[in-house]
Structure formats: structure tokens, C-alpha cells
Structure 1
Amino acid sequence: MKILSLRFENLNSLKGHWKIDFQDQAFQDNALFAITGQTGAGKSTILDAICLALYQQTPRLDKLTQSKNELMTRGCGDCFAEVEFAVKGKAYRVYWSQKRARGHADGNLQAPICELTEIAGKVLATKSSEVLKLVTELTGLDFSRFTKSMLLAQGGFAAFLNATSGERAELLEELTGTEIYCEIAQYVYQQNKQIQAELTLLTEQSKVLSLLDETQRAELDAEIATLTQQQKNLTAEHKALETAFNWLQQTQKISVDIEAQTQVLAKINQQKQHFESKEKALINAEKAAKLTPLFESKQQAAKQHEKVKQQLLEIEQKRKSNKALMEDALKDQELKSTQLQVQQQKTTQVLDEINSVLMPLELAIADKQSQSQQLNQQQLEKSATVKQEKQKLAEQQLQITAHHQQLQTLQLTLQSRAYIPKISEKLSTISLQLNQLSEMQDKQLTLSQILTSIEQKKFDAIKSNAHAQQAIKSLMTQVEPLESTLQQTKSDINRALSLLPDASIKAASTELNNIQIQLEQCLSALPLVDKLDRIEADLVKITDNKIHLETTLQAENEQLLVWKSQGQKLAEEVNNTEKLLEQDQIIQSLSALQMKVEESEPCPLCGSLEHPALINYQKIDTSHHQSRLNEQQQLLLEARNRYSELNGQLKSNQQQLQQVQSSLQALLLEREAQLQLWSSNAYLMGQEYNAQSNALLLAQKQSLALQVQQLTQKIEEVRRLESLHSEQSNKIQTLSADKNNLLLTQQQSVHIQNSLTEQFDALSADAAQMTLKMDAVKQTIVTSLPEPYQLSASSDLTFLNPESIFNQPEQWLAEATKQVTDYQQQLTQEQQLQQQLSELSQQHLLAQQVMQQHSELLQQVTTQMNVLTEQINDALQQRKSQFGEVSQEQLREQAQQQLTHCQEQVEKAKLALHALNATEQALQGESSQLITLEKEYKDHLANVEAKFSNALAVSLFTDQADYLDACLTQDEMQSLMALRQQLQQQLLTETTRLQTLESQFAAQQALKLTELDLPQASQALKGSESKIEQYQQIYATKLGLLQADEHAKLKQQDLLKQQQQKQENAQHWTLLNKLIGSADGAKFRTFAQGVTLDNLVYLANKEMANLHQRYQLKRNINQPLALQVIDLWQANTIRDVKTLSGGESFLVSLGLALALSNLVSHKTQIESLFLDEGFGTLDANTLEVALEALERLNATGKLIGIISHVDALKERISHQIHVSKGASAGFSQLAKQYQFNEAQ
């Protein structure tokens, strides 16, 4: 992995947008570079930016989120970091940024934005979690490994070297990922424990199985055979009883139906008797219906005759009204003609006056008005010109006045600022003096801050000393109660252990595990029992349904046979009756020949001389036989319909029976399968299924659950007490360590107080000397300013106040420069105003002369306008007095309209008279027609009345009233006729049905299937069912024992096979557990950490050979993870690493760090290395050795960056990235070449 470039903005003190391109030629030529700068300038921030972009956190801060970001520069609303890196020759870009709401520095933090892309532009991930996961996968380094292999942060060098054995084990596990060995050891231990428990369980299950011997098996087979035969005999008896019972039920049902049918027939006869009175009325109504056409013709003729008479009267009335209207119309026509002549004379007179008087007068008025408009236009133009000139004069006067005022104000201002030229002469000198004073103030401020810091540190040291004394007392009071509590906790642990099996958590856990396995098996068996219960209930229900359907089918088959026999009998009777009627028709058709046959004469057909058929022939009643045939055909149709209906119902029940039998067979198969599952279940093995199985399993479940709960509580109590004991012991140890630390803190506080006092005295003297120099410079500046008596009353005293000069020197210089510039601009403005005022005065005088000329011309036009207006008014008054205000066209139009109106009135009167004449002629013709029609209708009415009277006389009705009483409406007649037909049909139908039922009853009685009555047959059937059920239960029990024995044998064979397989597997896990397994994983983890440490020591010694050939590292034999140093220059003396000096510790730590980098990066080639560690503890020679080692490492192609402020390091490394503090407090910056702009 190689870092290609870094771009970031607003991180810590580095405010702004920066980019460092590690592929730049400067880095290619000098791959070993240094990041230099003052302490706190922001050197480590560059490495923080790399970590932030890659892993969204830094070595010095936790992960940055929406709720916390301490890395963003103060006063900024956003920050970001971007890194381009290469892995295995492929380049990627990873980006991280965060903003505040609306980009404001005080806005709420927004959610961070992350993105990982290829340099080519393909986006790989945008979610923070996905980006972090993908970066780890691509590089093979998580954050911890990255900070130990590529970026070695401050304080990380000596962490591994000075760590204890336990801490070193944790570091090795974290750095190299060897925690997997701990997990493997724990997994092996748990797996071996589980397999041993399963093997034990299989052995116990095999022991509890019970099998039948050969004798028991033979006895059981014989009992099952006997029960099978007995069950067949009982089933046959039960079927015979069931058939007899169904026959009794059917016979009883037919008897009930006959009784009910007799009642129905009696009811129909009663209805027929009630209908006799209505039938008589129906007969009379049918006879009256024959006279109804004549009666209706008579009524229609009378209506027509009356209607014509009425129309004739109406016509005569209309003729009288029309004659009166004709007389009025003739008078109106004569009056309108007279009015037309008068109007014609008036119109001629009006037109003559318009032509001779009005037209010349209006022409004269129009000419004068045209002249008036021209003069008026001239008057308006002159008035507008005069008005414009007046306005122009006023505007010029205002400009002149405004320029006078501006000039006066400007002159007063210049007089009040007469001191400005003097300040302008000394402004450059004052600027230099203020810069000098600013530098002194910065130094004074720095001294003041240092003094304040020293005072605060002294106060903190005193406060720390006091707190330490108080804390030591508090710790002493806490230790004694804790020791007493520790002893009590130990006693509680012993007492809790005594309640566990074998007084051991291990034994209790084993027992708990066994009980939990049994509980899980019990819970898994409960659904099986529930399903068997449901199957048994369904079997009972379906069996009952099957028996019911079989009984129903038997009864329907018997009924079907009865209907079939009855239908055949009825068909035969119908056939006989049809043949009889057919023969009678043939005889009737030969009646003519029969009349010609005489005794002793040959037959015309056969020639026989004897005619016995004619002698013995008896004529039959054809209508009677035809009626009988209809009744027989109706009964046959009903018998066939009943047969079809019963046959369809029989087929439907047969289908239902088949479905029920299929469902029963499926349930039996399912029950068999569930019983097999029952026998194969490890927990249910040896138990038999019965109705109480569910309750028994529930009780076992509750018992096992209670045991698990109680044992779990005991184990948890022991563990809680052990944890409490450990916490109390750790707390006592922690308090003792805190006491020692506090005593050391007291000593350090006293030493710090003395040192800070000496520093404070020296710096105070420097601050006093600096104050004297600043006062001298201030005095020089004050003497350069104008004296107060030289200023006018309107001068800017605030601007010339010495306090404003020294408090805000930059603002004062800017204000002074602005004052001088403004003063010069005001002088130029004064000259311009004087010149403009002279030009405005000349323009004002010329405008006054022009306005005087235009005023005189306006007066002349006004006089002419007044004379012409008087002439126009006189002419208009003359026209109004003679003709009013109406125009010529209106006068002509009014006269013509009046004449036209009179002509229209005359025409209307003529048309009205003509229309009335036409109406009279039409009414006269219509009256003649109606008189002829009335005569015809009168003759027709007399003829119809005569016909109706004749028909009524020969009918059974005495008069017309008697006829009307007998008449019924069409609906009433149809209703009575339908009722009569319905009663006849019902009587025939119900009689036939009764005969059919009687025939069925006789057929049923002839079968005589049993001598028992219905209650006795029902009791015998129930007894038979009870016996069958008892034998079935006994049979099921015996068969279940036999099947259970078969399942037990199979189960035993399966258990032996599983036990053999488990035994082989358990041997492997037992051996593996013996080698590496342990409950806490320490056995295999310690071994793996030792191997890892050996590898690390080997790699570190290779690095040490390049750094310093005096020292080598080795493992401590007595302490597995401890380190020792071999001094090769002292006869290979072995000593502890804590005896190394500061410089020696740094070299050894650097060697370990480089070795850790190689060890951690076993999956990824590391091509970049950043070291953030102070080299200040090294002497010149050691520093030289370290640099030579880094240069050799650089020669392998790695990019190496070092953060340091050591001068020798700066001189040795030519390529540097310098971080300098800015002018404003708290911000730093890089060189300008690293400042980023969008053009890049």
C-alpha cells in the first residue's frame, strides 16, 4: 500500500485548503522527508488527515460522528480529508467530509459524507460503514494495524517495549490478529464437551429401551389373529342390524307420509266445496261476455253522437263572436286612413323648414367653431411654452441656491480640517513607529501569557498537592471496610458452592446442560403429541360420517328399487289404456263398413259369412278412458321424476362416501407415520401414545424447566459472588496504587512550584523593560500630532485621541489615510462648484427674456378667442329656439317615422278585416259538415240500440241492469278460471301421490326384515357398536405393542450405530482438547503469542543490526512474553530492557516498531511509512545512526515521512514540509506550494 496524495481543509489549526502530492518530483527525488514546525503548529494534524480519510478516526481522537467533531477548525462551518492511495498497482481515492448546518460555524453538525472511488471515476461505496469495510479489505489493514505498520503515532514507539507481559500479550493479539487462536481453543473445549455429553446421552437412551422376547411375541401375534376374526363376525352382525333398523325407519316414514297425504287431500276437497259459489258467478260472467261487444258498440255510438252535437253548438257560438269583431275592424280601418292623410301634410311642412332655415344656420356655426378650435390650439401651445419656461427658471434658481449652500458647507469643512496637511506630512513616520510598537506589544503579550500560564501552573501545583493529601486520607478510610467486605464475600462464595452438585460450577454446568437437553427434547416432542391428538379426533369424526353415509345409501337403494317397480307398473297400465283407445279409434273409423255388414252376407273386407266380433262388440266410454290415461301418464311422469331425483341423490352420496373413505385412509396413513415418528423420538422412546400423553409431557416440561431455573440461579449466584470478590480485590489493589501515585504527585508538585517561581521572576523583569520601551515610542508618536489649541471646535478629537492610535493602530492609519484623501478631494470639489455656479447664473438670465416674449403672444391669442366664442353662442341660441337640440337627420327621421307608423296602422287594419272574413267563411263550411255528420251518428245509434235490445231479450238476463250485475272484469275472470284449474290439478296430483304411498307401504310390509320394533332395533344396534369399539381398542392396543417392539428394535440398532460413530469422533476431539483446548482459551493463545513474539524478535534484531550493532533482543525464558537485551559489546551480557537509557530505548523501540510494521503487513506490501515521534532524546551520534537506518530503509523504495523539530534532523533532510503559525492566534499554514486551488 502506498499513499499517493493528501488533500484536506480546516482541520485543527491548519485552516484553509491544502494538498500534498507525494508523487510530485520533489518527493520522487527525496523520498525521505520531514514535517517540521513549532510545537503545537499542527504537524501531527497532517497524519490525522490521512487516518481521517481512510478510517474516519485519528490516533488522538475517537471516531468522528454527527454528535462529536473536535477536529474541525474553530470558526469554520465545514472540513474534509481526501487520500489517494495505491494497492497492488491499482489507484483509489477515499473521501470524508462533514459540515455544519447552513455552513455556519455555530450550526449543528450534519452527518459525515464518505466515498470510495477508483481514480478512473467508478464509485465503489458511499455509506460510511461500507467505505470503512472496503478500505480494510483492499489494504488488508484495519485502523489498529495501520497505525502500527504505516503510521507510527506519538507515544506508540515505547508502548510495546515497556509493556508488562499481560499488556504485551494484548498488544500482540491486537496487532497480529492472533485472537483467533483463543477462539479456536475455546471452540475445541466446548465442542469436546458437547460431543462427550451427546455420547453419554446415546448410551443412556440405549439402556432404557425394552424389547419383547420370542414367547411374548408369539402370544401377541395369536391374540391379534383371534381379535381380527371376532371383529369380522361382529361387523357382519352389526351390518344386518343396521339394515333392519333402516327398514324400520323407512316403513315408519312411509306410514307418516300416508297420514299426512290423506290430510292434504281432505283439505283440497274442502277448498273445492268453498269454490262452488264462485264457480256459478264465473259461469254467468262467461255468458254475459257474449253480449259485451254489442253493449260496447251501443255505448260508443252514443258517445260519438253526443260529441258531434257539442261541436255544432261551439261552431255557432264562434260565428256570433266573429261577426262582432268584423264590424269593429271596419270602423278602425276608416279611422286609420284619416290619420294617415293628416300626417302626410305635417311631414311635408317639416322638410321645407329644414332645407330653407336650419341647413344655412348650421353651416355658419360649423365655420366659426373651426376657427375657434385653431385659436384654442394656439392658446394651449403658448400656455405650455410659458409654463415650461417658468418651471425652467425655478429649477435654475434652485440649482443656484443648492450650489451656494454646498460651496459654503465645503468651505466650512475645509476650514475645520486645516490640520490634515500637517498630519499628511508625518503619516509615513507615524506608520513606521506604530509597526515597531505593534511588535513590542506582541512580545509583551507573549510574556504576559507565559506569566499567566506560570501563575496558573503554580496554582494548579498547590491545588494538586492539597488534593493529593486529601485523597490519601480518603483512600485510607476506604481500604479498611473493603478488606472486611472481601472476607464476607469469600464466605458467601463457599456457602453458595456448597449448594451446587460436587460443590463445583463445572459439575453444576454439566448437570444443567443435561437437563436443558432433556427440556429441549421434551419441547420438540409436544407438537408431535398435539398432531396425534388432532388426528385421533378427526378419525372419530370421519368414521361417524362414513357410517351415516353408508346407512343413507342403503335406504336410498331400497327406495330406488320401489320407485323403479312402481314406474314399470304404471308404464304397463298406460300402454294398455293407449292400446284400448287406439282400437276404439280404428273401430270408429270403420263404422261405415260396419253398417253395410248384414247377417249371412259376406264381409266386405275379409269375405267371411259369420261376424262374431260385431255381435259381441260393446262400445266403450272414450272420455272416461281418456281421462284415466291422462291421470296414469301424470303419475308415471311423477314416478320417473322421483326416480331421477332419488338416483341423483344416490350418486352424490356415493361420491361423498368415496371422499370420506379417501380422507379416512389418508388419516390412517398419517397416524401411522406420526406413530413411527413417536417411536423414533429419543425422548418418547419406551413410552406409548394415549389420551394422557399430552398432559404427561406438559408436566415433565414444567418439572425440567423448574430444575433449569433453580440450578441456573444457583450458578449465577456463585458467579456473581466471584465477580464481586474479584471487583473488591481489584479495587483494594487500585486504591493502594492510587496512594503511591498520590505520594509521588506531592513530590512533583513541590519541585514544580520552585521551578515556576524562578521562571516567573526572570520573565517579570523582561516584561517591565519592554513596557519602558513601549512608553518611549508612544511619547514620540504623541508629539507628532497637532496641539489641541491648533484644532477648531469641529475637529475630529476622537480620531486624534492618542488612545485610539495605540489601541487600534491599523484602523487609525487607515482612517488617517482616508482623511488626507478626503481633504484633497474636497479642495477639488470647491473649485468645480464655483465654476458651475457662474454658468448657472448666465443661463438663468437668458431664460427670463425668452419667457417674456411667449407671455405677450399668449395674450393676443386669448383676446381673439373671446370674440369668436360670443358669435358662436349667439348662433347656437337661435338654432335651439327654432329647432331645439335635435339634428337635421333626427328631424327628418322623426317625420318619416311618424308617416311610416300611420301607413303601417292602416295596413294592419286592412289585414285584420281580411282575416276575420276568412274566419267567417271557414266556420260556415265547418257548420255544414257537422250538421250532416250529426244526422249519420243519430241513425247509427238507433240501429245499435235495436240490436242490443234483441240480443238481451233472448238471453237469460231480464234487463240491462241484470246483465251489468253479471259482468266481471277480465282480471277477475282470469283469476277465477286459474283457481278452478289449480284446484282440479291439485286434486288429481295429491290423489295419485296417496295411491303411490299406499303401494310403497304395501311393498315395505312385504319385505318383513325383522320382528323387532324400532326402539328395540336401535338398542341392539348401539350394543353392537359398543362391542365393536371395545374389540377395536383391544386390537389397537395389542397392535401398538407389536409395532412399538418393532420400532424399539430399529431404534436400538440406530442408537448402536450412532454410538459407534460418535465414539470415533469423540476420540479425535478428546485428543485435540488435550493438546490445545481450554475453557478460557489461554493454552493455545499463549503458545501462538510466543511464536509470534519469536518472529517479532527475529525481525527486530535484523532492524537493530542496521540501527545499532551493540544490542540484540531475546525472549525471557522464565517469563514467556517478557523481553531482554543482549549487550554485544559487554560479552553478550543479558539485562532488562528497563536499564536502557533514553536514546537507547528509542533505538530499540524504533527497531521494534519497524519489525511490527513488517509483521503486521504480512498481507500488504507497505510502501509508505510515517513516524510521529520526537527525536529530541537522541544525542548526535545516535541521531546519525537512526537517520542512516531510515535512509537505508528509504533506499528500498519506501516513502518515509518524519515529524520532528530537531535542528540536526532539519539540516540532514533536505526535503521538508514546514508548518508555520499564522499571524492570528490559533491558526497555522503550510508553504504556498501546498495551498490548493480549483485550477489544480
Structure 2
Amino acid sequence: MKILAIRLKNLTSIEGTVEVDFTSEPLHSAGIFAISGPTGAGKSTLLDALCLALYDKAPRFATSVESVNLADVGDNQINQSDVRNLLRRGTSDGYAEVDFLGIDGHRYRSHWSVRRTRNKVSGSLQPQALEVKELDTEKEFQGTKKELLAQLVDLIGLTYEQFTRTILLAQNDFATFLKSKGAAKAELLEKLTGTSVYSQISQEIFIRNKAAQEEVALIHNRMSVIELIPEDELSALHQEKESLIEKRAAGIKLLAEQNTQLNVVRSLKMQEELRKKKQEEEQGEQAKLKVSLERLASQEEGLAHFKTQWEAIQPDLKKARQLDVQIQSQQGGYIQSQQILQTACGQVTEQEKKMRTATEHLQLSYRSLNRLLNHAGVEETLQLEQVETILRQEEDVLNAGVKANEERLERLNSFGYPSLAEEQVKLQKEQTRQQTIRQLTETQTKAKTEIERLEKETADCLKQLAEQDTALKTVQRLYENARMAVGKDVKALRRQLQEGEACPVCGSTSHPYHQEHEVIDTLFRNIEQEYNTAVAACQQNNNRSIALQRDLTHQKTIEEQVREQLATLQKEGLDVGDEEQIQHRLEELAKLILEYRNLYAEWQHSDEEIKKMRAYCEALRENVSQCRLAMQKVSSDKEQLTILQNAVAAEQKRFEVMEKALNTLRQERSVLLKGKSADEAEAAVARREKELNLALEQARREVETAQNRLSGLQGEIKQITLAIGELREQQKQIEFPEQLPEIIKKQQEENLNTERTFSTIEARLLQQIKNKETVEKIAKELAEKQAVAERWAKLNKLIGSADGAKFKVIAQSYTLNLLLLHANKHLSYLSKRYKLQQVPGTLALQVIDCDMCDEVRTVYSLSGGESFLISLALALGLSSLSSNNLKVESLFIDEGFGSLDAESLRTAMEALEQLQMQGRKIGVISHVQEMSERISVQVQVHKKVNGKSVLTVVG
């Protein structure tokens, strides 16, 4: 992880926009640089901006734990631990921005900002905002502020606490890692070395042990819910089961006997009812037999009468057959003649339709021809020969027009219009370019003049500002002295002075201002007014200087853009002459193009007229042809219609003769057999005879069926009477036959209760067998799971933990040993008296005092300067301890050097200077003069009036 640039605006004492770019000289080449300035100038503000942009936190608020609200603008309040307190008073907005190289090797930018409502100084503070993007792809990260901060931790590879222990050693916080708890050390070492697998192993062991214990508990619970019947109760159940089996068999046998007796009683009753029913049926069958015999006699008499009538109509039948043959012969010729007549009439109708269609088509052709010729007379009077003469005249005019237009086209082609248009566009473009160059040259001249004016005014303003600053410092000293002179304590001391007695402050025995209080107050007010006037004038001149510098930068930008545009336009120049020559040639081209366009319009108009005339001639020719064809069609259809009409008249006469003869035969035949044909009469007689025979046969079958049914009923009655006698003998042997249903119902209930009791016992015995098998299986599974759970419990006791800290601390103790090797190497340069050592079995640290016979001391017994040197050695060791997971290339140290003596300070500086060869960039914040003199590249913070500071980079 490496810091590339820090930018900030309106934070604490820094007003306006400030940038510290580590990728540009002289900071790019410097391995170590100093951030120097007087106390309160704003040196630590740079590191506050770094932390704000990356973590929305600032080191100076790390110890603010008491929740106290402070007054903000108006009636608003803000908590004293709120990072928005860093926004400079009297400003409406501010930001902190950091460019950095992430652990994945990509460049990122994080922008933290805060503003007041409506961007007014009097507005209330709004919540701070955070924006993150990748500089290489311009991809912006999305999400809430909390989500963006989590993504930044992933990109940086360190949390805020880890960042302030490895990359940023904040003021008064050097010993944080030295005295931090083991878990915090382990987490940081884990991030630096990329050995997070130990935490994952510890957590996984904890999870698996918990799961194994839960499985064992679950099996115990499963076993506890299974109930087994005691042996004595089980034996009693088996005995009761045997007893119930015997009782169930006896009950089933008794119920069968009772059902048999009940069947005898019910059968007797049913047979008696059946005999009564059969006797009633016997009476009904005897009545049906009598009716069937009467119907049979009637059918025999009707058949004899029908045969007598059939013999009487035989002569009429013979004569009817003769007439039917004659009518059939005559009717064939009649139908044929009728069909021929209908066909002929249809042909006449079709021919008339064709003739009407041809006539209409001819009339349409004449109308179309008249429309073309604008003829208003009657269609039939139009002569086609005259139309053909007109057509030839129109074609002659058309050919003359085509020839004239071809001559115009040849003249158009001779102009070479495409080359003329191309040359015109080229000249117009060059003319525009020359005009643009002239305008840009004028703009460049004006910009240069304005730049010279602004540079002169800026220099004068800066000179005047320097003079005002010098005068302001003098007035400020007078003002401070005067303010002290009118203070309450000074006034009280002055009142106690006595003439001739020495002043306890200056020792003078003369006290000129002892009684002149009003004179002193007036003098102070005059000095105060002079000081305020000087501050206002200096501020006004400073604002004017800023405005002039902004205008100067803007004019230089304009001049640069104009110069680039001029260079580009001059490269695109064409050698076609000056503007006057170009304008003259453009006028010539305009005349030629105008002449071409006029001729083209004339040719286009003539071409349209030719197209219309050609279409007119083609339409006229086609209409004349259609008229001739239509006239031929009408004449042909008229001749064919006359032939068809003559044929229809002849066929009509022949049809009338045949129709008269046929009507005579039909009239004679209609009086015989009631108009029916002989075949129909014979068929009707045969059907009637067949119906009578069938009815006779049906009557005979009915008589026979009635006799058979009557005999059957009489036999059934006899059999039923015998069965009733036997059943009555059996019923005499049954006791209480009328109570049998109730007795059987009670026996059924008793059998059902026995069966239920038996099923319950049987189910309990089966469940006992199943439960016993289940318990055996669960016991086997429990033994296996307990063996696994015991192994995981032992492993969990050694290295398992929910947060992974147990194994992480063990594993990172080895990493800590490696860290101490690096740290002791740096510590040997910083202080030969001490060595760092790991407290056995923990991640805690202790020091060995070499000057005290290698006495082991706690880190809490070190002085401030000693703690700083050892913490610096640890920080440098952490910087050296890097892996592929996280490489630390930046280190910032805020103050702490003031607690060192001259020799220790020199040693610390030499150790820091040696790190330049390792490719690390180290920033040291200190107001110690010796450090500032030894470090050539510096970021200097200068205090100005009104609590304002400015920043410059020197080297």
C-alpha cells in the first residue's frame, strides 16, 4: 500500500485548496521528507486529511470519549468528537482527497467532503459524503458510506487501528502497538503476512466441534423419547394376548350359529311371502291366456277375408301394367326433349350475357379514347382512322422533343459539375480557415496584452502585500503589547505602584502611567483600530492578489489554447492563394454553377414533358387497339346468338307435341288402382298379407307363452310349499326366535371389544420390537458420534475459538518473533541499551535492559523518549515485515522527536535515512530545528494572520 497524493480544502488552519503530490518532484525522488512548521500551523492536518479520506476518522479525535456538544453557527450544536469539527470556521465547504496504490496494484482515489446548507457560511453542517473510484478505469464504487468504507479497508488491506500502527504514527500515539493487547497484535500481523488461514482454521475447528457436540446431544434427545415396556408388563401382555385369542375364537363360533338360526327364521318368512306372490301371479296369467285365445281367433278370420279381396282386383292390375309400359316409353323421349330445350335456352342466355359484356367493353374503350382526345361527341361517330392520324402527329412532336433534350444533356455533361462543386467546397473551407486564423491571432494578441497587464498588477500587488505584511507584524506586536497593558492583572498591578518604589516587573522607580488610565485606554483603542485597519487592508489586498492570479491563469490557459488551435489550423493550410484570390475564384465558380443549374432545370422540365407525352401516345395506341378488338368481339357474338335462337324455336315445337301425348296416357292410367303403380299395389298387398300372417303367428306364440308361464308358476308354488314345511320344522327347534337380532347384536359388540383389545396389545408388542431395534441403532450411532466429538473437543480445547483468536495468537507468535528480529535490528541503531523480547506464551512484549545486566523490564516502565524510540523501531519493523498480501511503502511519523535528546535525535535521523535504500517513503512531522535542517525535502507550513496557514514544498 502506498500513498500517492494528498489534497485538502478548508480544514482547520488550512484555507483554500492544498495539494501534496508524492508522484512529482521533489517528493517523488525523496525517500524521507519533513513536514515542518511552528506549533499550531497545521502540520498534523495533512495526516488528519489522509485518515478522513480513507476512514472517515482523524487521529486527533481518537481520545475524545466524553459526549459533549459545542456551539456551532446559530442555534446549532455539534459533538466535540465529530470529525466535521475539522472544517475551518468561516467557510462553507471543505474536503480531503487521497490517491493511493491498493494492495491489488491499482490506483484509487478516495474523496471525503463536508459542506454547510446552501453552501453558506451561516448554514448548518450537512452529513459528510464519501466517493471512491479507480483511476485507471474511471470506475466509480457504489454503495452507502458504510459500504464504501468497508471496500476501502479491502483495497488498503488495513483497518483504521492497523493503519495508525503501521503507516501513520499519530501524535502522542507511538506506543499503541507496543502496549496493545495480544489479539490486536495478532490481527495486524495476520494482515501484514497474509496468514489469515490460521484464524479460519481456529474458527472452523470451533464450528465443527460445536456441530459434533450438537449431533451427540441430538442423538441423546432422540434416544430419550423412545420408551421400552418393562419385562413384567411385557409378560402380562403376552398372557393377555393368548387369553384374548381363545375368547375371540369362541365368540366367532357362537356368532356363526346365531346367524344360521336367524337365516332360518328370515327364510321362512320370505318363502311364505313368495308363495302368496306366486299365487297372485297365477291368477293374472290365467286371465292373460283367455285374452290371447280370443285374439288368435280374430286374426285367423281377418286373413281369410283379405285373400277374397285380392282375387277381385286382378283384371285392373293387368291393364295398369300395360299403360305403365306405354307411359314409360313416351316419358323417356319427353325428358330428353325437355333437357335439349333447357340446354339451348341456357346457351342463348349465356350468349346474350357475353354480347352485353362485349358491348359494355366496347363502350368503355370508346369513352377512354374520347377522354384522351378530349372528344365530347357520341362514341359511335368517332372514326378510328382519324385517331390514328392524331397519334402519328403526337409521335412526331415527341421525337423532336427527345432530340432537343439530348442536346441539352450533352451541354450539361460538358460543364464538369462535380469538380466545380468540389473546388467550391475546398475554397470555402480554406476561406473559413483563414478567417478563423485572423480571429484567433487577434484573440492571442489581446490575451498576451492582458497577461502582461495582469503580471504587472500581480507583481505590484504581491510587493504591496509583502510591505503590508511587514507593517502588520509591527502593528500586531504593538497591539499585543497594548492589549497586555490594559489587561485586568496589569491594571491591578499598576494601581498598587507607589512613586519612588521599584516596579516588581521592570524595577523602575518612575511610574509615568500610574494615574493615566484613560490615556492608556485611548492609546489602546487607537492601536486596536490601526491594527484592525491594517488587517482589513491586508485581507483585501490578499483577496485581490488571489483574484489577479486566478485571472492570470485563465488568460494563460486561453492563450495556450489559441496557440494550439493556430498551430493545428496552419498545418491544414492549402496553397490556393490569399483571401482576395479565393473570393474572386468563388465568384467565377458561382456563375458557372448557376448557369449549370438553370440549364439542368430546363432539361429536367423538358424531360418531364417528354415522359408525359410518351405516356399519352402509348395510352392512345393501346386504346385504339382495344376498340378494334372490342368491335370484332361484338360482331362475332351477335352472329352466334342468332344461330342459337333459331335452334331453340325448333326444339320448342317438338317438345309441345310429345308433352300432349304423354298427358293423354297419364289421364287414362290415373283411374286404375287409385293412381298407384302395379308393383306398388302388389307390394302393398304382399306387405298386408305378411302383416296379417305375422300377427297370427304372434297371437299363437302369446297363447303358447301364457300356457307355459302358467304351468311354471304352478310348479314353483308346489316347491315353495314343500320348503315352507321344512323351515317350520327347523324353527320349532329355536328358542326365542323373535329375540335373535338383539342377541346377535350383543354378541357382535362383545366380539368387537375383544378384537380392539387384542389389536391394542398386538400394536404395543410390535412397537416394542421396533423401539428395541431403533435403540440399538441409535446406541451404535451415538458411540460413533461421541468418538468424533471427543476428538474435536480435544482439538478445540487446544486451538479452537469462535473468533479464531486462539490459534491466531499461537501462529502469530512466530510472526512476532520475525517482527522482533526486524525491530531489534532498527533498535540497535536507535538505542543500543534495549532489546525487544516476546513474553513467553503470549503476544505481549517486554524489553531487555543491556545496561542493567540484561534485566527484563515491562514496556510500561519506559520513559516517553524511550517508548518513542522503541515504537519507532517497531513501526520500521512492521514496515519491513511484508508479504505478497500487503506491502507497506509509506510511513508517516507525527511529532514525538521533541522528547529525544540531541544524541538520540541524531541516531533516529540516521536510522530513518538508511530506509531510503529500501524504497520506502517516510514523512516526518516535527518542529525540531535540527530535523528540519538535516532533511532537504520539506513540506513547509507557514502561519499567516487570522489563524490561516499556507503550504509550500521545497527541495
TM-score (norm 2): 0.45
Looking at secondary structure, tell me which structure has more helix per residue.
1
